[in-house]
Structure 1
Amino acid sequence: MLMKNRPAFAIGEEPLGKIRGHYIELYLDVERLYPPMLRRPAYPASLETRKGIEKHTNELLDMDFIRKIGHNEIVEITTPVLITWIEGKSRLCGDFRALNNYPKADRYPIPRITHALEKLEKAKYITKMNCMKGFHQNVVKPNSIKLLRIICHMSIYEYTRMPFGIKKTPAHFQRIMDTTF
């Protein structure tokens, strides 16, 4: 299976692929009034946090997951949040709380960990496959990109790949996994 699907796998520093045929689209709920301008100034950040934001932003730019946009555009923007784990690893997420009030919810079921563990109960072999930067392997439709903008001390950027922090992305990604594997 691995050799047959070799182009689907990134090893080490290889560029990530794109999940074909699955795009995320953020539909604004038409039952509500138009959303307020979702503009936010960049959050104040410590030197250490700014360095982490710079590192992740440059990585996302190099992989074409975000792109820089002009400062003079009238845009709906949010701020990035650097999430750091105990092991010292970090991830850049957008603070999309205001935006998350508007898209219609995706009610696709997320599997419960207990159900997954029950399936493994009598397994003789267990294989693990990790979707490296999983959400980022899904391309965002062009008309949704304008909603996925972040501002930091460096500039304003917009995501071209599915970001972390959007309410409906876990269900959307689970649907992709269920139809792909």
Structure 2
Amino acid sequence: MDWVAGPVPGVKERFNAFLSIVNRYSKCERILTCHKEDTAMDTALLLWPNIISTCGIPKMIISDRDSKFISEFWTNLYDMLGKKLHFLLLIIHQQIV
């Protein structure tokens, strides 16, 4: 999961970012329009109808450790569901990008 900020082509101006979600096994990608100011709660509310309700709760989230995923909300959500929340740290060297 990764946020990409900036104008979203072909989408109403009220969205200024999108969330890219890729299933590691099927390589299926979903793009959800959002706001770069979205909180963890906003993200969960976005994921619930678009991802979790159709695909289930992910066992692992691979992210660039965006603050939205480190928040207490995600930890509490997984605790309530009896799941462990695992993060894989992605380090991208600036010279590569």
Q: Report the structure number with the largest CA radius of gyration.
A: 1
Same fold (TM over 0.5): no
More strand by share: 2
Structure number with higher relative contact order (C-alpha < 8 Å, ≥ 6 residues apart)? 1
